[in-house]
Amino acid sequence: MALLEVKNLKTYFFTRNGVVKSVDGTSFSIEKGEILGIVGESGAGKSITGFSILGLIDPPGEIVEGEINFDGRDLVKLSQEELQKIRGDEISMIFQDPQTSLNPVITIGEQLMEAILYHKKGVSKKDAYNTCVEILKTVGLPAAQKRMKSYPHQLSGGMKQRVVIAMALLNNPKLLIADEPTTALDVTIQAQILYLMKKLSKEFHSALILITHDIAVVSQLCDKIAVMYAGRIVEYGKKEDVIFNPLHPYTKGLIECLPKLNDDKKRLYQIPGIMPSLLGLPKGCYFKDRCEFADEQCDVYPPQQEIDKRIVFCHKVK
Amino acid sequence: MLKYILNRLFHSAIVMFVISFIVFFIMFKAGDPVQLLLPPDATQQDVIEMRHALGIDQSFIKQYEAFLRNVAKGNLGNSFVYGQPALDVVFERLPATLELSVLAMIFSIIFGVPLGIIASIRPKAWYSKAIMFLSLSGISVPVFWTGMVLVLVFSVLLGWLPSSGRGEVYLFTSAFTWDGIKHLIMPVLTLSFFQLALILRLTRTGMMEVMMQDYIKLATAKGVPRRVVVYYHALKNSLIPLITVIGIQFGQLVAFTIVTETIFAWPGTGKLIIDSIQNLDRPIVVAYLLIISFIFVAINFIVDVLYTFVDPRVRV
């Protein structure tokens, strides 16, 4: 059985202007030790999917339907107290912006040790301290003991993200959700952090959900890929299949956008138009206005199809 | 740190020097206290003699120079009305005022901060709305009205609490005797009503802002219990602006207990300063304002030091 199986997840936000269906019927699964990439543009519902798994949806948002089966439990049905025991212990999360994800008035050491002390009752402060120093060394932070006493503002962005990653790995979680872990970092650090995450997830046997808008990152790291568009998954399958033989026109467009080395074209390809607002979604296929293959058939939302060992939602794929 | 403290002391000395000059000048221009001090049938000779005795027959520069000479000796002059050293007169009344202000501030913080946190967590719950409504009335209702309604209810109608005076004093304060406490309750409540509402609203706004931050979400995501997230992670961050305001407000409390002291006939400095301004009793007014500005400067200094404990990004 899969470690995590998300079935028909729907997370809606009930705003003053109407219901925003941020995640609208998403299904995927991940096995132990596997890396799943969720790709999509900003506002496609990637992060909300991640937050939903941990039950971190604040009002006016709400999980209205679906199941999140994790290790034999449906997380949607658990209370906040039960979720609190899972968070940071069995499932942990890495946030997008290291500049804002650490508390500015609490030391790094205290913020790290907290993650242990609230989960493992009976662990002494000294043991927790030693574990934290060890993990800081593992993520490659120099002068780990000195850093335990530092405050976040004394660290650079890359160092902070290493601390956040260390924090997520402390309790050896079964599942790690990384929400654009490298977006806020500069390119040289990006590669280091990504390599580190892959290495650590293999080392700790953790499954990893990598949420990103960068399909190049996904193609390097992941075993499986789910492409999201306007709150729904449009294509989902093994990395090799999705990257080297994309079926959905949106996935094709995303891959086409990447610069290629042996290509003398002057301009990069871009998908025409923008993603529709979640408050004013078109009837039928959400991608039809930007799709070169669209016709009247696309006025009905495409059914799920299983073609070429993957799941795809498109009328035009046969 | 020592350099910082010395620097601050130097600054405050300049501030107090400027204040003394301004107050001295205004009081010089305000009028002739002798007319108020002497009986209406006093002769011209009496007036001249009194002016000479008080030293106010000289030019402004001469008078101010004499004042500065006395200050250097630690003497702010004798009160025109009481004939005693002005500092002694103010210091004699100061404990009563400080007692009111400190207790009102403590009361406001003890109730304002927790109520503000409660109202911030579920802003749409009925109790949050009730708290916010009450705090709005706390900000809008004038102090003299609150005081008089309290007197009407608890002294006139119920007869539970005394309506005026300070009660039995022990060790400079009336907070250690039962009689003193009974006298304190209403003035403290009256004085803290506005402060409580202000602190409550500030806490709520600060908390709501902090609770939306990523680090709060991350703390939750790492499995920190809700109450620790709220009362430690979030509160520690919203304390930063709160400390500033509490500092400023405390200065205000000390300086503006006048209305409350008048309603409850509280023998503090508020009453003294009003009387002294009316009597043109310059030494008292100058001494009072110097002490108040010193309190302001001291509070600012304490606030700065507290900052370094709460916010590691600030280091003096």
pLDDT for res B210? 92
Residues with Cβ within 8 Å of residue B75, at least 6 apart in sequence? B85, B87
- What strands, in cross-sheet order, belong to the sheet with A73-74? A18-30, A4-15, A61-70, A73-74
Domain containing residue B203: 93-265
Q: Do B223 and A118 touch (CB under 8 A)?
A: yes
Give the closest residue to B200 by CA, choosing from B139, B105, B135.
B135
pLDDT for res A263? 67
Which pTM was predicted?
0.80
Count of structural domains within chain B: 1
Share of chain A above pLDDT 90, in %: 12
Nearest CA-CA distance, residue A96 and chain B, Å: 9
Residue in this structure with the two tokens 């009976």, named with its chain if needed: A122
Q: How confident is the model at residue B316 (pLDDT cuts 50, 70, 90)?
A: low
Q: How confident is the model at residue B315 (pLDDT cuts 50, 70, 90)?
A: low
Judged by a CB distance cut-off of 8 A, whether residue A100 touches chain B is: yes
The mean pLDDT of A78-89, rounded to a whole number, is 88
Averaged pLDDT score across all residues of chain A: 86
pLDDT one-digit tens code per residue, A192-237 = 888 888 887 888 888 899 998 888 888 888 889 999 988 888 889 8
Residue B284 inside a domain? The answer is: no
pLDDT for res A265? 67
Share of chain A above pLDDT 70, in %: 99
Residue B78 inside a domain? The answer is: no
pLDDT one-digit tens code per residue, B81-129 = 888 888 888 888 888 888 889 999 999 999 999 999 999 888 888 998 9
Residue A186 has pLDDT above 80, yes or no: no
pLDDT for res B267? 84
The mean pLDDT of B245-265, rounded to a whole number, is 84
Question: Maximum Cα–Cα distance for chain B, whole Å?
Answer: 86
pLDDT one-digit tens code per residue, B131-185 = 999 889 888 888 888 888 888 888 888 878 877 777 777 667 777 777 778 888 8
Q: Do A106 and B224 touch (CB under 8 A)?
A: no
Query: Which of A102-111, A267-276, B51-60: highest mean pLDDT?
Result: A102-111
pLDDT for res B106? 93
Q: What is the ipTM of this complex?
A: 0.84
Question: Among B217, B228, B236, whose Cβ lies nearest the Cβ of A105?
Answer: B236
- What strands, in cross-sheet order, belong to the sheet with A35-39? A91-94, A175-179, A207-212, A35-39, A224-229, A232-238, A310-312, A305-307
3-class DSSP state for residue A120? coil
pLDDT one-digit tens code per residue, A15-43 = 888 888 888 888 898 988 889 999 988 88
Residue B172 inside a domain? The answer is: yes
The mean pLDDT of A132-137, rounded to a whole number, is 88
3-class DSSP state for residue A307? strand
Question: Among A84, A95, A106, whose Cβ lies nearest the Cβ of B223?
Answer: A84
Q: Do A164 and B221 touch (CB under 8 A)?
A: no
Give the closest residue to A119 by CA, choosing from A80, A89, A75, A83.
A89
Residue B111 inside a domain? The answer is: yes
Residue of chain B with shortest Cα separation from A166: B222
pLDDT one-digit tens code per residue, A243-258 = 888 888 888 888 888 8
The mean pLDDT of B22-26, rounded to a whole number, is 85
Residue A189 has pLDDT above 80, yes or no: no
Residue of chain B with shortest Cα separation from A50: B221
pLDDT for res A41? 85
B165: left (phi over 0), alpha (psi -120 to 50) or beta: left
Residue B282 has pLDDT above 70, yes or no: yes
Residue A157 has pLDDT above 60, yes or no: yes
Helix, strand, coil share of chain B (percent; to 5): 75, 0, 20
Residue B247 has pLDDT above 90, yes or no: no
CA distances to A50, B175, B264 from B166, rounded to whole Å, are 63, 10, 9
User: Which amino acid, one-letter code, is at A281?
Assistant: L
Residue B274 inside a domain? The answer is: no
Residue B55 has pLDDT above 80, yes or no: no
Averaged pLDDT score across all residues of chain B: 84
Residue of chain B with shortest Cα separation from A86: B223
Helix, strand, coil share of chain A (percent; to 5): 35, 25, 40
pLDDT for res B202? 93
Could you write out the DSSP letters of every residue in B237-252?
Answer: HHHHHHHHHHHHHHHH
Share of chain B above pLDDT 70, in %: 98
Q: How confident is the model at residue B283 (pLDDT cuts 50, 70, 90)?
A: confident
pLDDT one-digit tens code per residue, B176-232 = 777 778 888 888 888 888 899 999 999 999 999 999 898 999 999 988 888 899 999
Look at B9-23, B30-44, B214-228, B281-295 and tell me which has the smallest mean pLDDT: B30-44
* Torsion angle, alpha carbons of A213, A214, A215, A218, to 10: -100
CATH at B118: 1.10.3720.10
Residue B270 has pLDDT above 60, yes or no: yes
Residue of chain B with shortest Cα separation from A102: B215
pLDDT for res B111? 93
pLDDT for res B117? 92
